[in-house]
Amino acid sequence: MENKHDTKFQKHVSDGSVVLYGVPKVHYGAFGGCTPLPIAMKAAANYMGMELDYAEAIAFCGAAFRLTWNETCWDGGNVGDTFAFDDPTKVLRMALESLGCEYNCIGRDEATRKSDFIDFIKSKIDKGIPVMARGVIGPPEMGIIAGYRNKVDTLLGWNVFQEYQDVAKNVRFDDSGYYITSHWWENPDTNMLMAYGEVTGQRFSVKTIVQNAIEVMTPRRHGDYAKGGYAYDAWKKAILNESEFAENMITPLLVERLMCHGDATDCLMDGRYHAGAFFKKLAEKEPGQPLYGQLASQFDAVAKIVHKMFEAIGGWERGETQMKEFAKPEVRGQLGELIDECKVADEKALALLVKLEAAL
C-alpha cells in the first residue's frame, strides 16, 4: 500500500534521505489514549488516508480488553499489550489485519542484522508508509519511524519517550518535532518493526472483534501471568499482602508497587473506557441490537469504578500524595474492594460478549 496523500503530506527526498512529514504525533495522551500500540496504529493509518479512531484501534487489536498480573513478582511489564493474547504476536497481527492489511513484521533475535532492519525501514518509508517500531528510544513501547537520513543510519519520527532525558540523552529534534537519533540499533529494546501492507481483505467484522475480546477477557493463567478475572484476584492479593508493605519500607519499593498498581488502573481506564466508546458507536449505528448499548454501559461501569480507585489515593498520578495513601493498609483495603467490583463488572461484560457472539 503506497501513501496516496503526498499532496497533503510532505515527503522530503534528498540524497540518502526520505522523511514523511505530517504523521500525527505519538505520545502518552495522544487521541485521548495511553496505550502506545493503538496510538501508533491510528497515527500511521490516518497518515495513510485510512479512517481509524482510537476506540476502534484499541478494540480492533484486542488491547482494550486486557488485564494481566504476574503472580511471582511486582512486574512493571504487566501492562504490556503483548500479554493481551497468550500468543504475544497476535495483538500485533490483529493491529494490521483488522484493517484488512497484510501482516508485515520483523523481529530481532541473535541472528538479526542491522541491515535487516534498515532494509525493512527503507522499503516502507520509500513508499510513503510510516513504520511502527518498538524501542528506538527507551523501553520497547510502540512508536513511529517517519523517515531516515544518512542511508538509514539516522532515524526520525515519534516516540513516547523522546522527551525523557534519562533514556533520550543522544536524541536531537527536527523542526517538525520528530526525534532524530543515530543510536537506535544500539538500543537492545529496538526489537520489532511492522507496517501496514497491501490491503488484502475487509476490516474485521464485529463478530471477529467480539471473539477476540472473549479470548482476551477469559480468566486463565499463562506461565507466570494471571489474565482476565484471575488477574483481578492476583492484583488484589498483591496489594493486600502486608508483608510487602513494611511500615518503614524504602521509597523505591513503594514506588515499584504503586507503579504496578497504577499501571493496572490505567490499563483498565484506557481499555474499558474506549471499549465502551466503541460499542456506543455501534449502538448508534445499529439501534436494533440492544447488546451494543448494554456492552457500552457495562464497560463504562468498569471505568467509573477505576475512577474511584484514583480518588482513593488522591489522583491518578504517582506522586508523594499517592505513595503516602497507597502505603496505608486501610486505603489498600478499600482498593481491594474496588478491584472486586471491577472484576464483577468485567464478568458481566464478558457474559454480554458471549451472548453477542451467538447473536451475530
- 3-state SS string over 52-96? CCHHHHHHHCCHHHCCEEECCCCCCCCCCHHHCCCCCCHHHHHHH
Supply 113's cell numbers: 542484522
Residue 273 placed within a domain: yes
Last residue of one domain, picked from the residues 199, 218, 237? 199
Answer yes or no: do 241 and 191 share one domain. no
Q: Tell me the residue ranges of DSSP E strands in the chain.
A: 11-14, 17-20, 68-70, 101-107, 131-134, 142-149, 154-158, 172-173, 179-181, 192-199, 220-222, 225-227
* 339: in domain: yes
Query: Do 155 and 300 fall within a single domain?
Result: no
Q: Round to whole Å and give the CA distance between 24 and 158.
A: 9
* Cα gap 146→123, rounded to integer Å: 12
Both 194 and 49 in one domain: the answer is yes
Residue 89 lies in a domain: yes
- For the chain, the domain total comes to 2
Decide if 187 is inside a domain: yes
Same domain, 61 and 137: yes
pLDDT of residue 9: 52
Alpha carbon distance 131, 147 (integer Å) = 9
Q: What is the mean pLDDT of each run of 10 residues along the chain (360 residues)?
A: 47 82 96 97 96 97 98 95 96 96 94 97 95 96 97 96 91 96 96 92 95 98 97 98 89 94 98 98 97 98 98 93 95 98 98 98
Residue 223 lies inside a defined structural domain of this protein: no
44, 184: one domain: yes
Residue 306 amino acid letter: V
pLDDT of residue 6: 45
204 lies in some domain: no
Residue 323: burial class (beta carbons within 10 Å; 0-12, 13-18, 19+): middle
**Does 55 share its domain with 124?**
yes
Residues spanned by the domain of 236: 228-359
pTM over 0.85: yes
With respect to residue 212, please indicate whether it lies within any of the assigned structural domains.
no
CA atoms of 65 and 25, how far apart (whole Å): 25
Find out whether 174 and 103 touch, Cβ atoms under 8 Å. Answer: no
On whether both 72 and 165 belong to a single domain, the answer is yes
Query: What confidence score (pLDDT) does residue 238 get?
Result: 98
Cell numbers describing residue 80: 504490556
> Looking at residue 10, what is its pLDDT?
60
Kindly state whether residues 240 and 187 are assigned to the same domain: no
Residues paired with residue 123 on neighbouring β-strands, in sequence order: none
CA distance 264 to 246: 22
The answer to the question of residue 42 being in a domain is yes
